Amino acid sequence: MRITSTSCICPVLFCLCFVQRCYGAAHHGSIKVTRNQTKHIEGETEVHHRPKRGWVWNQFFVLEEHMGPDPQYVGKLHSNSDKGDGSVKYILTGEGAGTIFIIDDTTGDIHSTKSLDREQKTHYVLHAQAIDRRTNKPLEPESEFIIKVQDINDNAPKFTDGPYIVTVPEMSEMGTSVLQVTATDADDPTYGNSARVVYSILQGQPYFSVDPKTGVIRTALHNMDREAREHYSVVIQAKDMAGQVGGLSGSTTVNITLTDVNDNPPRFPQKHYQLYVPESAQVGSAVGKIKANDADTGSNADMKYTIINGDGAGVFSISTDKETREGILSLKKPLNYEKKKSYTLNIEGANTHLDFRFSHLGPFKDATMLKIIVGDVDEPPLFTMPSYVMDVYENAKIGTAVGTVTAQDPDAANSLVRYFIDHNTEEDRYFTIDANTGTIKTAKIFDREETPWYNITVAASEIDNPGLVSHVPVGVRILDVNDNPPELAREYDIVVCENAKPGQVIQTITATDKDNSANGARFHFSLDEGPSLNPNFTLRDNEDNTASILTRRRKYSRTTQDIYYLLVLISDGGVPPLSSSSTLTIRVCACERDGRVRTCHAEAFLSSAGLSTGALIAILLCVVILLVFSLAIVVLFITLRRSKKEPLIISEEDVRENVVTYDDEGGGEEDTEAFDITALRNPSAAEELKYRRDVRPEVKPAPRHHHSSSLDSVDVQEFIKQRLAEADLDPSVPPYDSLQTYAYEGHRSEAGSISSLDSVTTHSDQDYNYLGDWGPEFKKLAELYGEIESERTT
């Protein structure tokens, strides 16, 4: 297969290229297909040779944006088998075949029926084949070829990112890069100059320039000043065809803003200023403003104001308002027109952010002089002290002088002053003041223990100008007098053990006094014993504002006396001394050996036998258990008596013996706690006939009536005999034996009880002194029987 490629170069004009294409298409764009043949030599057998494919073809081109009335000729296909008799048929397949590209199936000529755009599709891949028109069999294998769309300059350059906004510092050097712009051209950059772009500046000269190849914008002047001009609008053009005539162009706008640098120092508009300040101005208040102008902006215009010298530097201060960049003048000390009528200040304003590149334009600070005139003002009276503290004794009579306040008119007129109390609170009504002299007096009788301190406000005004008022706080301290007697600090619960020894401290008491320490620091304690000494207790003054209660004898008995009362006298050391009396209550309690209180209530007689607390608790627990058990038995018995069971129906065939037993074994006739035998001792329950529960009665006997007196006299033995007779005569008795039992123990024994419970009240003549020789284990028992013996002897 032989391949040759011939390109059509359009020198200048489209039409020439088109004519050349059309003229040379038959030669340059043909595909030659050579048919395979087999030679026959006489006398030789037929020999098959490898078929030879003879496609000869070139790459086809078609111009974009064709606007002619006829289809554009592209090229020609030709096969060696084509003898010109129309037996060969050419078929075209692939991209755009039949729609964009059509072929003459007889001649093989290819035409483009539509206007093509290279920017949308640069080439098309197609397939060509030659077949026998009669048999439709391929004469040659299918072959692939390409039709390329040839570019023309039909797209102008475009700035895809415009318009642009950019900044550059002012005072920049010439040639400082500002921005690089880039334009794109959709034409083929490999073919001609259609996509070769050149940049130029249409607007913005002589301030800026642009590089024609790279599109870099630079400053074109030295020291461009923002304060002179801040904004610039630059128009940049991009033109293809290397800028030649006939090329297409596009443009964009670049908005350039000069940013500020600190190249301007602050300047005061004036070198001398004057300010009027009244003498009534409050300390700490702003009295004036001053400002230095700076042509810069932002942080480059920030400045700080200071007072560099002047006779008013100690009276005034200056600060900077960061928002307005003003100097705020404030008062540090009060002004007095009568003492000084004017002040002079030298104020400096300086930038806080310096750029040393422009230090040659400085200095970046400025100064001015400020003269302050103090204005005379009619001032209110001035008190001689900022506050007053006065004293007065409690219980002082109404009208007692407390103290005096003094105020004067500070002005040259020295007007008379009038005093009064602001009655804003209740405390202000407890005092009065002399309007002319300022003397404060009491208006009520004070009690220091109720309120020890009062705060009032005294006002003073000029008689000639009552509207000018000044105020001063006055504190009145109420002094103490000894008007409260001492008393016990609290209620005391005093306990003395039965086994206490003489001289034992059973309680320490303290006292308190509502008066302050000057009138009650030292308390004296004593007993109000009368003509005779207290035989039971005594009191000892500890001389530290406490006193101790001591026992005076050995052993105390609750059975003899369980509470004692002790009258205590307490006096203070005030002038004059005051005293009071209080009664102490002392209870007698049983204690353990270590002094812990065991009980202060009356105990059973068994405790005198020396039983411990644990033993007493065990005995009480047993008693409680017995009571609960007895109660349960009583409840069970009552429940059985009151329950109504269904009668037991015995069939006639059942002839078994039936024994009904009752297993209640009480404690005898005298045992009234375990079982209620009222029915036996006094059979009132037999007032009406009790039917048997094992059979159904057929005839109900007539009820019997007994008088209560006869029932009470019936003996249990007689009652059982009566029941026996009723059972024998009962017509409803079943045909089998029935056993009924009644427990009866007989009369009370003639012998007495052997229990020791009834013997505790009897007095024995036995001597128990030998118990003290048995050791510490029997000490408590010896003490108990020793007390009983001593009391009996007494």
What is the structure's pLDDT at 722? 80
Query: What is the distance of C-alpha 399 from the center of its chain?
Result: 59
CA dist 581 and 569 (Å) reads 4
Q: What is the mean pLDDT of residues 665-683?
A: 50
Give the Cα-Cα-Cα angle 267, 270, 272 (nearest 5 degrees): 125
Nearest-angstrom CA–CA distance, 557 and 41: 170
Burial (CB count <10 Å: 0-12, 13-18, 19+), residue 785: buried
Q: How far, in Å, CA of 552 to CA of 542, rounded? A: 17
Q: Between 681 and 471, where is the model more confident?
A: 471
By the 8 A CB rule, do 55 and 77 touch? no
Whole-Å CA distances, 588 to 295, 662, 668: 102, 55, 45
Helix (H, G, I), strand (E, B) or coil at 681: helix
The pLDDT value given to residue 361: 85
* 458 Cβ neighbours under 8 A, 6+ residues apart: 388, 405, 419, 420, 421, 422, 433, 438, 440, 471, 472, 474
Length of the chain: 794
Q: Determine the pLDDT at residue 519.
A: 60
pLDDT at 28: 35
- b/e burial code for range 724-739 (CB count within 10 A of at least 16 → b): eeeeeebeeeeeeeee
- Read off the tokens for 275: 């300010």
Q: CA-CA distance, 569 to 353, in Å (whole number)?
A: 86
Cis before 380? omega within 30: no
What whole-number distance in Å separates Cα of residue 335 and Cα of residue 342? 10
User: Is pLDDT of 24 > 80?
Assistant: no
> In the prediction, which pLDDT does 613 show?
67
Ranked by mean pLDDT, the top range of 112-121, 184-193, 547-556 is: 547-556
Say what the pLDDT of residue 753 is: 53
Mean pLDDT of 516-539: 81
| pLDDT greater than 60 at residue 16 | no
Q: Encode pLDDT of 352-370 as tens digits.
A: 998 888 888 889 999 999 9
Confidence class for position 277, pLDDT limits 50, 70, 90: very high
Q: What are 621-637's pLDDT values in tens digits?
A: 899 999 998 888 988 88
Q: Residues 6 or more apart from 611 whose CB is under 8 A from it?
A: 619
Q: What DSSP string runs through 579-608?
A: EEEEEEEEEEEEE-TTS-EEE-S---GGGG
Instruction: State the DSSP H helix or E strand holding residue 208, giving kind and residue range, or none if neither.
Output: strand 208-210
pLDDT computed for residue 668 by the predictor: 53
Phi-psi label, residue 204: left if phi above 0, alpha if psi -120 to 50, beta otherwise: left
Structure confidence at residue 33 (pLDDT): 35
Contacts of residue 533, defined as CB under 8 A and 6 or more positions apart, other chains included, come to none
Q: Give yes or no for residue 501 having a pLDDT over 60.
A: yes
Binned at pLDDT 50, 70 and 90, residue 760 comes out as very low
pLDDT in the model for residue 387: 95
Q: Does residue 254 contact residue 288 with C-beta atoms inside 8 Å?
A: no
Q: Which tokens sit at 752?
A: 């007495």
The chain-wide mean pLDDT, for the chain, equals: 78
What integer is the mean pLDDT of 112-132?
86
Q: How far apart are CA 365 and CA 294, in angstroms?
A: 10
Q: What integer is the mean pLDDT of 105-134?
A: 87
Q: Give every strand in the sheet of 164-169, ordered side by side.
A: 164-169, 249-259, 231-239, 198-203
Confidence band for 457, pLDDT divided at 50, 70 and 90: very high
Q: What is the DSSP letter of 397?
A: P
Question: Which pLDDT band holds residue 762 (cuts at 50, 70, 90)?
Answer: very low
**How far, in Å, CA of 141 to CA of 559, rounded?**
146
Taking alpha carbons only, the member of 233, 225, 303 closest to residue 261 is 225
Rounded mean pLDDT, 219-226: 91
Instruction: Point out the least confidently predicted range of 120-129, 396-405, 553-562, 657-666.
Output: 657-666
Q: pLDDT grade, residue 735 (50/70/90)?
A: low
Q: What is the pLDDT of residue 44?
A: 38
Note the pLDDT of residue 162.
81
* 773 has a pLDDT exceeding 60: yes
Q: Residue 217: which pLDDT band, with cuts at 50, 70 and 90? A: very high
pLDDT at 682 over 80: no
Higher pLDDT, 663 or 649: 663
pLDDT tier for residue 27 given thresholds of 50, 70 and 90: very low
pLDDT tens readout for residues 280-322:
899 999 999 999 999 999 999 999 999 998 898 899 999 999 9
Percentage of the residues of the chain whose pLDDT score is greater than 90: 37
Structure tokens at 107: 């001649």
**Which pLDDT value is given to residue 754?**
53
Starting at the edge strand found earlier in the chain, the sheet holding 208-210 runs 177-180, 216-219, 208-210
Contacts of 23 (CB under 8 A, 6+ apart): none
Mean pLDDT over 147-156 rounds to 83
- pLDDT at site 532: 78
Residue 215 has pLDDT above 60, yes or no: yes
pLDDT band at 736 (very low <50, low <70, confident <90, very high): low
Tell me the β-bridge partners of 79: none
Half-sphere exposure of 631 (CA within 13 A, CB side): 6
Predicted confidence at residue 259, as pLDDT, reads: 93
The pLDDT assigned to 749 comes to 56
Q: Name the band, by pLDDT with cuts 50, 70 and 90, for residue 739.
A: low
In this predicted model, what pLDDT tens digit does every residue of 696-717 receive, in sequence order?
A: 554 444 444 444 444 445 567 7
pLDDT above 70: residue 570: yes
